[in-house]
């Protein structure tokens, strides 16, 4: 039986009985078949002695039951780990931060409290999924949508708290930035409401995020300072018209001026989310051309840029393709399309074509025809299927995302490609990055240049190499001024350790707050690299186990 760290069997049994009394025996899960559902399916520590598996899972139905759980946990010093829908695959899924921590599963708290399509906001509980909210909006014929990530089974609350992103206009793609107001159960069991919510009877909970006094909402994102039980979000009004363009360019260096032009267009709200990619990458489930694949290692084990470029030109394959959405009325969309075409005339050989266009509201048939459903707030599982357990050439047991933020600059992106390729070459590993690897453009005003490390449920040596490579990438990225924005529990200490300005003042400040807010250290110890005073010796435990000590402090 797994026990929480530093908790005796006797105290655990007492707490178990009190949890059952507080929320109902049927909502306290301690059987192995239930706890297995809270394992990280993609864990890079699978079946290791320290794999983060919970000792218990609790499923409260409302804020009052969350309060009861927290108060019991304080008595017995039981560490808790809250999750929303638990779909954070690639970043830890529904597993706790440490082995033995008790999962507080908030999926039963699934009320849609309010949606207003005149003032364009919603207020939801953490168990509400993007599918739930979309269905509610459509069934009630409301003229708004919430920006969504992939996949649609995730939680707006959970995704925002982990700094997730989406696919429409920049101001809505930043899910934490577009939240407004929250309700939080603190470590002592008290309820805090932020912003205007601190005013009893406030009518603008989800409209003005600042209220009066300090703006404290940010303390509850990627941290362990409270359990969020309600959040408001700004929603985007549904446009009258949607137009999707495709930009293709011939050379690798064309990306440099293209990014500058797209930055201007996006920051001027002329376009929405630009999707960068390269036609040199084969479609999912298809092998890369053998000639092109050979050029990826033909220069001393590294790519030959000239041969790759010549291959693209010889075969008339665009080096880059960028999808560009436009929203508005039909006349505005067409005017913006013509303006975009004028702007890209400075890039020789650049072509812009119209992919599809629709007047809204969409019919069911039109929704099925949309190339990027997420751009209009329609949740689905298509991209999730393609990038995880779907039609892939080399099935793995999942993956861990490495997700550093880099400048929204074409030159920096090309440099980042080269640096990543060099790192994998030095490690003697096949690089998952190519000279035509594309940036993820979800982040507003920055790029995320992410990659997936495939893991295994049977090959522990492979997982050890994965962990070494990940930690090396964290260090090398930091040396270049790039920082991981999100990480699985295994690597959160490493990532926080890279944010080391002024002798790690961010971490030291956060842990001072932790000691004041949560003196018993019961809320997600170690989440985000923030440890309570009674557990700080555990910092870098995963890295030390692997013998990886470089750059630690």
Alpha-carbon distance values, 11 to 1, 56, 73, 77 (Å): 14, 14, 10, 9
pLDDT digits (tens, 9 = 90+) for 297-315: 999 999 999 999 999 999 9
The tokens describing 106, both together, are 């908030």
Alpha-carbon distance values, 203 to 15, 23, 184, 268 (Å): 39, 31, 18, 31
What CA–CA distance (Å, rounded) separates 368 from 83? 32
Q: Active site residue: 169, 242, 470, 485, which one?
A: 485
What CA–CA distance (Å, rounded) separates 69 from 82? 11
Cβ atoms of 185 and 478 within 8 Å: the answer is no
Give me the pLDDT at residue 549, please: 62
Stretch (H or E) spanning 192: strand 191-193
**Does residue 485 carry a catalytic annotation?**
yes
Burial class (CB in 10 A: 0-12, 13-18, 19+), 240: middle
Say if residue 224 is preceded by a cis peptide, omega within 30 of 0. Answer: no
Give me the pLDDT at residue 395, please: 43
For residue 51, is it left (φ>0), alpha (ψ between -120 and 50) or beta? beta
Give me the pLDDT at residue 78, please: 98
What CA–CA distance (Å, rounded) separates 290 from 312? 13
Give me the pLDDT at residue 224, please: 96
Q: Which residues of the chain have pLDDT under 50?
A: 389-395, 550-553
What CA–CA distance (Å, rounded) separates 279 from 320? 6
What CA–CA distance (Å, rounded) separates 441 from 197? 33
**Does residue 212 carry a catalytic annotation?**
no
Q: Active site residue: 98, 173, 486, 527, which one?
A: 486
Give me the pLDDT at residue 553, please: 43
The tokens describing 504, both together, are 């790690």
Q: Active site residue: 38, 42, 76, 91, which one?
A: 91
Give me the pLDDT at residue 384, please: 66
Give me the pLDDT at residue 393, please: 40
What CA–CA distance (Å, rounded) separates 56 from 187? 19
For residue 25, is it left (φ>0), alpha (ψ between -120 and 50) or beta? alpha
Give me the pLDDT at residue 439, please: 94
Give me the pLDDT at residue 385, please: 58
**Does residue 91 carry a catalytic annotation?**
yes
Closest CA to 436 of 448, 409, 418: 418
């Amino acid at each position: 039986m797994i026990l929480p760290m530093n908790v005796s069997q006797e105290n655990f049994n007492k707490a178990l009985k009190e949890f059952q009394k507080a929320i109902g025996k049927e909502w306290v899960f301690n059987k192995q078949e239930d706890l297995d559902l809270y394992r990280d399916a993609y864990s890079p520590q699978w079946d290791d002695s320290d794999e983060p598996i919970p000792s218990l899972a609790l499923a409260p139905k409302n804020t009052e039951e969350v309060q009861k759980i927290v108060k019991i946990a304080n008595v017995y010093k039981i560490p808790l780990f809250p999750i929303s829908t638990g779909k954070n695959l690639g970043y830890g899924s529904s597993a706790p931060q440490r082995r033995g921590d008790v999962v507080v599963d908030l999926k039963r708290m699934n009320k849609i409290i309010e949606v207003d399509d005149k003032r364009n906001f919603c207020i939801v509980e953490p168990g509400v999924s993007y599918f739930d909210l979309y269905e509610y909006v459509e069934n009630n014929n409301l003229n708004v949508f919430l920006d969504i990530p992939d996949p649609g089974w995730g939680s707006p609350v959970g995704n925002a708290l982990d700094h997730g992103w989406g696919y429409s206009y920049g101001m809505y793609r930043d899910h934490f930035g577009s939240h407004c107001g929250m309700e939080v159960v603190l470590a002592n069991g008290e309820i805090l409401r932020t912003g205007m919510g601190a005013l009893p009877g406030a009518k603008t909970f989800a409209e003005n995020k600042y209220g009066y006094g300090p703006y404290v909402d940010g303390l509850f994102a990627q941290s362990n300072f409270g359990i969020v039980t309600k959040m408001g979000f700004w929603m985007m009004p549904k446009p009258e018209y949607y137009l999707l363009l495709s930009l293709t360019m011939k050379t690798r260096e064309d990306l440099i001026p293209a990014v500058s032009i797209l930055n201007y267009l996006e920051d001027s709200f002329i376009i929405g989310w630009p999707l960068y990619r390269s036609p040199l990458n084969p479609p999912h489930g298809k092998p890369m051309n053998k000639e092109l694949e050979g050029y990826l290692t033909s220069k001393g084990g590294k790519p030959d840029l000239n041969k790759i470029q010549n291959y693209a030109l010889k075969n008339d394959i665009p080096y880059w393709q960028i999808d560009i959405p436009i929203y508005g009325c039909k006349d505005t969309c067409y005017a913006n399309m013509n303006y975009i075409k004028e702007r890209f005339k400075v890039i020789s050989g650049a072509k812009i074509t119209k992919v599809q266009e629709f007047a809204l509201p969409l019919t069911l048939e039109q929704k099925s025809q949309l190339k990027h459903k997420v751009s209009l707030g329609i949740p689905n599982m298509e991209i999730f299927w393609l990038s995880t357990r779907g039609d892939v050439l080399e099935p793995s047991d999942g993956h861990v995302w490495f997700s550093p933020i880099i400048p929204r600059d074409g030159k920096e992106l090309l440099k980042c490609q080269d640096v990543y390729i060099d790192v994998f070459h030095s490690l003697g590993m096949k690089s998952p990055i190519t000279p035509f690897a594309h940036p993820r453009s979800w982040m507003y005003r920055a790029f995320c240049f992410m990659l997936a490390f495939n893991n295994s449920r049977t090959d522990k040596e492979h997982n050890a190499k994965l962990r070494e490579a990940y930690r090396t990438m964290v260090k090398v990225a930091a040396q270049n001024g790039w920082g991981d924005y999100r990480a699985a529990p295994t690597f959160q200490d490493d990532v926080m350790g890279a944010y080391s300005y002024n002798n790690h003042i961010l971490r030291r400040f956060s842990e001072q707050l932790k000691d004041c807010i949560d003196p018993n250290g019961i809320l997600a110890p170690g989440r985000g690299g923030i440890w309570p005073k009674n557990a700080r010796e555990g910092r870098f435990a995963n890295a030390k186990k692997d013998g990886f000590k470089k750059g630690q402090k």
